[in-house]
Chains A and B, each alone.
Chain A
Amino acid sequence: MPNKHQNASKISRRNFVKFGGAVIAGSTLNIPPLKNAHLSQEETEAKIKEYRVLGRTGFKVSDISMGTTRMREANVVRYAYDSGINYFDTAESYGNGNSEKMIGEALQFMDRKKVFITTKLHFEENATKEELLERFTKCQERLKTDYVDALYIHSASTVKILNHTGFHDAVKELKAAGRLKHTGVSNHGPRGDGESMEKVLCAAAEDGRFDLMLLSYNFMNKEEAEKVLAACKKNNVGTTAMKTSPGMLAVSPLDPDNLTKDQQEYLDRIMKRGTSKEKAMARLKRRVNRQLASYENSKTFVEKHGIKTQDQLRKTSIHWVASNPDMHTTCVSFSSFDMIDMIVPVSGVKLSAADQQFLEDYKLVFNAQYCRHGCNNCVSSCPHQLPVSTIMRYAYYYEMQGNEKLAMEKYLKLRDKNASLCFDCSAPCTASCPHNLDIPVQLTQAHSLLTLV
């Protein structure tokens, strides 16, 4: 029997249904006229202060823009607009099309010419022009707009997809009909077997057919993303940042007699696999101790900067991105009025030296604990060519996901190419991680974890 995903490319309609678009039936464009829009404004607390030219589109966009993956209330879009935000990002797959619907609902309270609406379609190689046109038609119906400002290839993971004939043919037709103005490419960073974000987006920027790039950009991935920004600047391509606030301050009080939900779930999972309660509890305690040790390591930093809230980290991270003039707009997934009031004040304000220092310190502390998914910079320094990031990922499955069985099975499959080799090694890899991970230490710990020795 074929594997589900070997099979996938044979079926063209799969793209269509998997990535949404089933909310409205029919393929002929059918946009109901807007109700008499009354454009009365709500008094918002904060206002956008800076607008930047979005590359060769020539459109002046707010330096803070709105992403809609977590948005549940059309009124939050309206509030963002009243705060001066004029760039709204959505996709066919967000909420199975319902996110586009909410923007459509809010659009009746906006001056259409003053806002920039983007949506995205994800597709595989076998998608046809007709299929993409049909899906775009539905996006447009949900958005209730005569034209969409930009259509992105959603999560383009290879350079090859940039040349998709069906996509470019569909775009040509849509532009000729006045239904689409620009095209772009989005990339979330390396995934699975995909190519790096830098490779895909630099190729897209040089290509000439794409006017916009939507990229993952934050103070933790500065180096990779700035190569993309340079390529965009050279080609006058518009830039939008997403995934702007990495890092999380998660709180979990530790009381063995009063376990948190997460700890209880961890315990239940282990016991479900036949482990006795006593042993499961011992494992949970070891896990908690490791977490405590990690907290202890970070304590000085947390105290030095008086970090009280996740919001503080989020706001400063977003501010850092918005402070880069080569990033035309910083897309934030707003779910509430409060969040808009919290983030919009960073618009047009220079990042203070103290905040800059805060992020630098944060990066120093946390970079060293986090092996980058899809990175293999250090592999060439290892005489055994150990798959370092893969081994660390398995440790992550084990420790953070509690998926011990899967992690250990996968690790076993590496056979003799595993981290037992690190125990008797002079560790030439030691200084090879650009993110300062202590590779030998992390790998030997991972080995102990994944083999239970």
Chain B
Amino acid sequence: MKNSISLLLILLIVISIPAHAIDFPTIKSFTPESEVAKYNPETLYEYINGGADVFLSFGFKELLTKDFSYQELQFSVDIYDMGSRVNGFGIYKVERPVDANFLKIGVEAVVSPPYQCLLLKDSYYVKINIFEGEFRQESGKDILRKVSAALPGSDKQPTEFSVLPVKNKIAYSEGYSREAFLGIDLLERCVYAKYKKDSASFRYFSIVSIKEEPSKITWQKISEKWKHAEAGKSTVLYKKIPYKGYTGIILSGDKILGVADCKNLEQVLDLLNVIVK
């Protein structure tokens, strides 16, 4: 949340067009059934109503949508350009089902019968909505592969996730929260994943540093509000989160690393020790 004014005042929502605008890609074997429709941040409401708010909060740039037929299916392919890989990851995570068979197509994909497939590739979040024909897992995978192959960009997870430990991580549990991670305003731009070790479940996270707000500034802001604890030569900032136990962060080089869902401060310190190592 912005908390100071320096120079300019802009009314209403500040928006911008895509940084990597693409034309709708040609998708092998699909027969086009409509023209492409485009929506920008101002017009997205016309397409998805109140659902648009969350897309805008993740930095939505442009939506391209077009209808196709393929074999006995008819469907629309909605390509949301979210402007960056990590924003794409964030919105995909918000919209995907909690429990499903996640697929390694693009960065990640999911077939959600009877009517929908979701795909993440690079900064593109793709929703495929089947509206005619008998739709099964296999045809969903086939469609997802074709769409993924047609889209430019990377199939890898955003680099921001590389700071999170691999050991004990629950597969496909990663996410990106642009604002109020854990319901805390100060925790903006957090990549996170869930972990399970013995009987303990917890989340590691890292606050993504940006040019306008390097980690040291973020650390300073949080240190004014959270409690301090000493861990060897380092300082840990920690806080009790309603209903969810303790969370704590540590500044390691130019990165802020954190752990959440701990039952007490000792566990915070132990787990931070692991991530720093």
State whether these chains interact. Answer: yes
Q: Which residues of A contact B (CB under 8 A)?
A: 1-5, 7, 11-14, 16-25, 42, 44, 69-70, 72-73, 75-76, 78-79, 91, 93-96, 98, 101, 120, 122, 154-155, 186, 188, 191-192, 246-254, 260-262, 265-266, 268-269, 291-292, 294-295, 298, 302, 307-311, 333, 335-339, 366, 369-370, 396-397, 400-403
Cβ-neighbour of A25 out of B65, B113, B241 (below 8 A): B113
B131 CB–A CB distance under 8 Å:
yes
Q: Which residues of B contact A (CB under 8 A)?
A: 1-17, 19, 32-37, 40-43, 45-51, 53-54, 57, 65-67, 74, 76, 94-98, 112-116, 129-132, 177, 179-186, 210-212, 241-244
Say yes or no: B114 contacts A25, CB within 8 Å. Answer: yes
Given that A22-B115, A191-B45 are contacting pairs, would A1 and B35 also be in contact in the complex, using a CB cutoff of 8 Å? Answer: yes
| Least CB separation from B36: chain A residue | A4
Say yes or no: B98 contacts A98, CB within 8 Å. Answer: yes
How many A-B pairs fall under 8 Å by CB? 239
Cβ-neighbour of A98 out of B15, B94, B244 (below 8 A): B94
* B-chain residues with CB within 8 Å of residue A12 when the two chains form the complex: 131
Say yes or no: B76 contacts A18, CB within 8 Å. Answer: yes
Say yes or no: A337 contacts B242, CB within 8 Å. Answer: yes
Say yes or no: B6 contacts A251, CB within 8 Å. Answer: yes
Say yes or no: B243 contacts A11, CB within 8 Å. Answer: no
Say yes or no: B180 contacts A78, CB within 8 Å. Answer: no
Of A42, A370, A401, most B-chain CB atoms within 10 Å: A401
A-B contacts, 25 listed (Cβ < 8 Å)? A3-B37, A4-B67, A7-B34, A16-B115, A18-B129, A22-B129, A25-B114, A69-B51, A76-B183, A94-B51, A154-B49, A247-B12, A248-B14, A250-B2, A250-B8, A250-B10, A251-B8, A254-B8, A294-B8, A308-B4, A309-B4, A311-B3, A337-B183, A396-B42, A401-B17
* A-chain residues with CB within 8 Å of residue B4 when the two chains form the complex: 251, 308-309
Given that A4-B67, A250-B14, A339-B185 are contacting pairs, would A309 and B2 also be in contact in the complex, using a CB cutoff of 8 Å? Answer: yes
* A-chain residues with CB within 8 Å of residue B113 when the two chains form the complex: 25
Say yes or no: B8 contacts A295, CB within 8 Å. Answer: yes
* A-chain residues with CB within 8 Å of residue B2 when the two chains form the complex: 249-251, 309-310
Say yes or no: A338 contacts B184, CB within 8 Å. Answer: yes
| Least CB separation from B96: chain A residue | A96
* B-chain residues with CB within 8 Å of residue A249 when the two chains form the complex: 2, 5, 9
Say yes or no: A23 contacts B34, CB within 8 Å. Answer: no
Given that A70-B53, A93-B48 are contacting pairs, would A401 and B16 also be in contact in the complex, using a CB cutoff of 8 Å? Answer: yes
Q: In the complex, what distance in Å separates the CA atom of A403 from the CA atom of B17?
A: 6
Q: How many whole Å from A346's CB to the nearest CB in chain B?
A: 18
